Each structure stands twice: as structure tokens, then as C-alpha cells.
Amino acid sequence: MPALLIKDYLQTQGLKLPADNVRAAYLAAQAVMNLGSASIERGILWPEHGGWRLADHVAADAANEALLRQIFMALDSAYSRTANVRSAALYAQMPSENGAKLVQLTRQGEMLEPLLDVNDDNSRVYLACRTAQSGWLNLADDVPYWLDLGEIEGSRNEGGKSQLSAPVCTESGAVLGVLHVEFNDKKQTDEVAQTEWVALALALSEPLKTLLGIEEEIQND
């Protein structure tokens, strides 16, 4: 991803992160994905939870399994380097007869919702849905305070005291999915954490586009 596109993402999202640091973290995530040939149990790449199966939403073929392996390794690498993370998950935004849905492709840490409808009701409870709807990154550095203000709702938010939801976008800005991270304590979404997870969201754009079968026409100025 050219440095200009990283700067565009940061400007669009209103993030004042050092672009060089984000690019370095992006290249590190990309390197992990390029080496994504490790042997990983099929049950990890194709999870099932209480009747929900990823294979019901993503074709279980060799090409997609290779992409899921890359995505898993990139998320695992970021998760292992970031302190105090309670949960981290990548969701793909997929159309359905009743509107868009967020389908969890992979996660680390404690369980998060594997399937979410993207609608106004869920946007009040789930930052990932709010990000999918708006295309804006959401940072809640003090979730209990947000709950007190009514800026976010639901008992499920009593666990992750800080949360970050970053959109994974095409180069034209269309939302492909959401990278959602929850932390055990408040005040965890500092510049270092933002740099790590924003860079991963940027790096995940290409494998997610391929997985979703999205072809993007790049315009050259």
C-alpha cells in the first residue's frame, strides 16, 4: 500500500498518528501475511459456535483457507504484541436479504459475537456495527463512562473497558469489514495501540478484498 493511501486513511479517520510509524507497522503485518504458510488446525481457520459456522458464509475451498491462514497469523501477531487485550476479531461485511451482516473471520482472546446484523439497534450496542454503518473508526477509551452517558448500551460492554473498532476499506473508501479490539482496562487505546491496530486494518484490506471477490479499479492521477 503506497504511503499516500496510508496518509489518506489517517486523514479521513481524523487520526494524528505518525504516518511513518503506521507504515512500518503495516509492512510488518504484511510480512507476517506473506509468510502465512504455517500449519494451523482446520477448526481454528473454520470456526463453529453454537450452530454458527464460518463455512456457511465463506466457501470452504483451498484459496479461501490460504487467505484465512494469512489473516489469522496477522491478527495473532498483533494480539501477541499488544498488552492487556481482552479480545480481538476481524469481521467481514457481507450482504444478505435483510441487510448487511458482520461475519467473524477470526479472533483472539475471549469470545466475541460471531455474527452481527448491521442496523441502528445494534449500532447502539456494538461499536463494530457502528463502524460498519458509518465507515468511521470508533475509539472508546473509557467504556464505563460511555455507558453512563448513554453513548453505548448493553451489558455485553461491561467486560471490555476500552474498545477500538477500525474499518477495513478499499482504496476508494468502501467498507470491507471491521477490526474490533477490546481491552481489559480503561485508557488502553493510546498512540502505540492505535498505530498497531490501524496498520493491521490497512494491511488486511487486500486479503479481505480477495476473500470477498471484490475487484477495484485503481485510478491514476
| The pLDDT of residue 219 | 46
pLDDT at site 35 = 83
pLDDT reported for residue 154: 96
Domains in the chain: boundaries: 3-212
Predicted confidence at residue 220, as pLDDT, reads 42
Taking the whole predicted model, whether its pTM rises above 0.85 is answered as: yes
Alpha helices in 82-126 (DSSP H): 120-123
In the numeric block, which cell numbers belong to residue 1?
Answer: 500500500
pLDDT, tens digit (0-9, with 9 covering 90-100), for 103-114: 999 999 999 999
142-194: pLDDT as tens digits: 999 999 999 999 999 999 999 999 999 999 899 999 999 999 999 999 999 99
Question: Nearest CA to 195 among 39, 21, 4?
Answer: 21
How sure is the predictor about 36, in pLDDT bands with cuts at 50, 70 and 90? low
Identity of the residue numbered 54: L
Q: Each residue of 76-113: pLDDT tens digit?
A: 999 999 989 999 999 999 988 788 999 999 999 999 99
User: What three-state secondary structure class fits 167?
Assistant: strand
Domain 3-212 CATH class label: alpha beta
